[in-house]
Structure 1
Amino acid sequence: MDRIPLGRRHFLKGAATLGAAVAAASTLPGCGSLIGKRNTFDISLAQWSLHRRFFSGDASPMDFAAITRQEFEIGGVEYVNQFYKDNLSDALVQDLRQRADNEGVRSLLIMIDGEGALGAPTEADRKQTVDNHKKWADAAHALGCHSIRVNAQSQGSYDEQRERAADGLVKLAEYCEPLGLNVLVENHGGLSSNARWLSQVMETANHPRVGTLPDFGNFTINRETGESYDKYQGVRELMPYAQAVSAKSYAFDAQGNETSIDFHRMMDIVMAVGYSGWVGVEYEGDRHSEAEGIILTRDLLRSIKG
């Protein structure tokens, strides 16, 4: 999936404003979801949804594509680098690609953690972090992915962090551009969970390969103080730059609705900007088993899709 051209961003900003009106209208008495059956999206599976199974050794990360297709009937996968970092090689990547091809599963992106801060205070440290990410970009390219998902950690004042994060993202995007890869930032704690700040990072970076991966649930800015950003407003502000979406879920009621996130409202916001890409199931709760949580999230998305 190609990155949205910069000119398109300004159109999408207007669409996002319209989306706010759409989302507000959908909450009025007598008004149901405005998605209806006019929009479409594909459903993928984030590997983190099965982190307990993989970390415990109950399943091999090499079987992720097979599990995704055979157990959950899902056709797209989002890898997590933590499960492959100890033995990453060209042979391993080719094996993963072959397994995905055998199952008819699309490899979409790699979520990268633990490789340094792209917004590090010094230019040298930012360059080192970019270098650390290159092997994962190469792997994503070999897998046939459209993106890598990165973090925008930084230090300093609000403005300093914006400038530093944008600089690191652009440096990485310059490496990824010839590979046909997008560099997507997830709201993932700290200032990155402040959607206004992250939107400003996107504008400062101003690069056609730099975008966002809005996550429905990661809007806690400071765990110690409890400071958080409104999740619906946050997704609304990040969608104009989105090239992937994470449907984070934690728990469900007897009717199959997520108990802390209004998925219908969220998907109205997602669809309001014309998004028609992949929406990743990312179950992170403990009330249901991993398999149950994945199925509940998948089925809720399917019901919204119509």
Structure 2
Amino acid sequence: MPSNRRHFLKQLGGLAAGFGAASTGLSFINPLPADIQTNTHTSDTDSSAAPLFFTISLAQWSLHKKLWAKEMDNLDFPAVAKNTYGISVVEYVNQFFKDKAKDEKYLAELLKRCNDNGVKNHLIMCDGEGDLGDVDAKKRMQAVENHYKWVDAAKYLGCATIRVNAFGAGSYEEVQKAAIEGLAKLGEYAAKTGINVIVENHGSYTSNGQWLAGVMKGVKRKNVGTLPDFGNFCIKREGGQMWGTPCIEEYDRYKGVAEMMPFAKGVSAKAHDFDEQGNCIETDYVKMLKICKDAGFKGYMGIEYEGDKLSEEEGIRKTKALLERVGASIK
């Protein structure tokens, strides 16, 4: 056991017991709900809405402008999701509590606010912890170990899943092989506490649905899967940048989502702009939701509004209304 892992166990000392020698040795205030572990539908959205084949959750990135501007704190997120938008399942972004993964007091307060508001934690999106597809074995293993603390934090918070990045520099085959090894290793650790590890189409090779499906087939672990995002299909940008420059090569989003759905443990409902009828301009939600339903998906679909023309609040509401309207119409 690495020394940093022992340090974490010491920090969470009052929570120990019950997982057995093969586990991390922790017990948690809020046990992982059974309906989060699979794609089983639960009615956590507005009860007045028509029945859906999925459950709506709220991705924290939808509020990233308010969070970066300090107009909202990470601890406020559960209450805002429930009381402002009527959504009782949330998805965190580790960037907004980057130094708190091992902070027992902070995590306990966050969990208390969830419980006080009747909010269920679904996943933590993890960035900035290294590339799990790094072709350098030492760097890749460091990235794997960097994610251990988020696996433990996710378990403590009652999440089912962490979302990671499988980036790497090299050829298609080299990075794919490295990603398989990195994800398998992290998946092995996460399995000890029943946590899923999922990869989103997030740029470069990961936005190539065929490449990512190949990674999943190579990993061959039940707790390692995908988070299909309706956007994020740029596989090449000007200047070779990951972000911030125009996209010069894009993968077909419908093909990509279809290729990732067999491994999906969640879906990210991305939206930027809407027409006068409330339809998403850049993505055909009827077509996309049918792909999800045809794949047998019955899990959490996270609202991720990322547009600039509407306020974050209006964008979230429009995305929610679109999911409810279209989701109820899919046969």
Specify if TM > 0.5: yes
Unmatched 5+ residue regions in structure 1? 5-36
Pair 158,51 (structure 1): closer, same or farther in 2 beyond 3 Å: same
Q: 1:82 aligns with which of 69, 89, 95?
A: 95
Report Cα offsets for 1:18-50 as digits up to 9, x if no partner.
xxxxxxxxxxxxxxxxxxx88511000000000
In 2, the alpha carbon distance for the partners of 1:117 and 1:134 equals 14
Asked whether 1:58 is paired with 2:71, we answer: yes
Which among 91, 96, 112 is matched to residue 105 of structure 2? 91
1:139 aligned residue: 153
The residue number in structure 1 matching 2:287 is: 265
Task: Write the distance in 2 (CA, Å) between the matches of 1:81 and 1:43.
Answer: 20
Calculate the TM-score normalised by the size of structure 1.
0.87
RMSD, aligned α-carbons: 1.3
Q: Structure 1 or 2: larger helix share?
A: 1
Alignment check: 8 A CA contact 1:166 1:201 kept: yes
Rounded Cα–Cα distance in structure 2 between residues aligned with 1:170 and 1:161: 14
Q: 2:308 aligns with which of 280, 286, 294?
A: 286
Q: 1:2 aligns with which of 12, 23, 37?
A: 37
Is 1:40 the equivalent of 2:53?
A: yes
Secondary structure of 2:37's counterpart equals coil
Once the 2 structures are TM-superposed, how far is the Cα of residue 155 of structure 1 from its aligned partner?
1.8
Q: For residue 24 of structure 1, what is the aligned residue in structure 2? A: none
For residues 255 and 81 of structure 2, the distance between their equivalents in structure 1, rounded to whole angstroms, comes to 31
TM-score for the superposition, normalised by structure 2: 0.81
Q: Distance in 1 between matches of 2:317 and 2:172?
A: 39
Q: Which residue of 1 aligns with 2:296?
A: 274
Mapping 1:219-238, distance limit 5 Å: 219-224=233-238, 226-238=248-260
SS at match of 1:74: coil
Output the CA distance in 1 between the equivalents of 2:52 and 2:294.
Answer: 9
Write the deviation string for residues 64-94 of structure 1: whole angstroms up to 9, x where unpaired. 0000001110111000000001344111111
User: Is the contact made by 2:186 and 2:197 (CA closer than 8 Å) also made in structure 1?
Assistant: yes
Alignment of 1:144-155 (within 5 A): 144-155=158-169
What is the count of residue pairs matched by the alignment? 274
Cα deviation for residue 3 of structure 1 reads 5.9
Identical positions, percent = 47
Give the AA of the match of 1:100: C
Deviation sequence 1:146-188 (CA, Å, 0-9, x none): 1000011012111111100010001100110011111000000
- Match for residue 267 of structure 2? 245
Q: One-letter code of the match for 1:162?
A: Q
Contact 2:289 2:327 in 1 (8 A): no
Take 2:160 and 2:140, find their aligned partners in 1: how far apart are those partners? Answer: 23
Paired residue secondary structure (2:257): helix
CA distance in structure 2 between the aligned counterparts of 1:105 and 1:54, rounded to whole angstroms: 19
Which consecutive segments of 4 or more residues in structure 1 shift more than 4 A?
A: none
The alpha carbon displacement at 1:305 in A equals 2.8
CA distance in structure 1 between the aligned counterparts of 2:327 and 2:219, rounded to whole angstroms: 33
Cα distance in structure 1, aligned partners of 2:55 and 2:135: 38
RCO higher in structure (CA 8 A, sep ≥6): 1
Partner of 1:175: 189
- Report if the CA contact (8 A) 1:82-1:113 is conserved: yes
Distance 2:106 2:152 in 1: 12
Q: Aligned residue for 2:201?
A: 187
1:267 alignment partner AA: L
Contact 2:38 2:299 in 1 (8 A): no
Return the match for 2:139 from 125, 150, 154: 125
Is the contact made by 1:119 and 1:164 (CA closer than 8 Å) also made in structure 2? yes
Indicate which of 119, 124, 127 corresponds to 1:110: 124
Greater shift, 284-293 or 123-132, is seen at: 123-132
SS at match of 1:258: coil
Q: Deviations over 1:196-239 (max 9, x none)?
A: 00000001111111100000001000121611100001000000
DSSP-derived class of the 1:239 partner: helix
Aligned AA (1:230): D
CA distance in 1, matches of 2:165, 2:262: 18
Give secondary structure in 1 for the equivalent of 2:302. strand
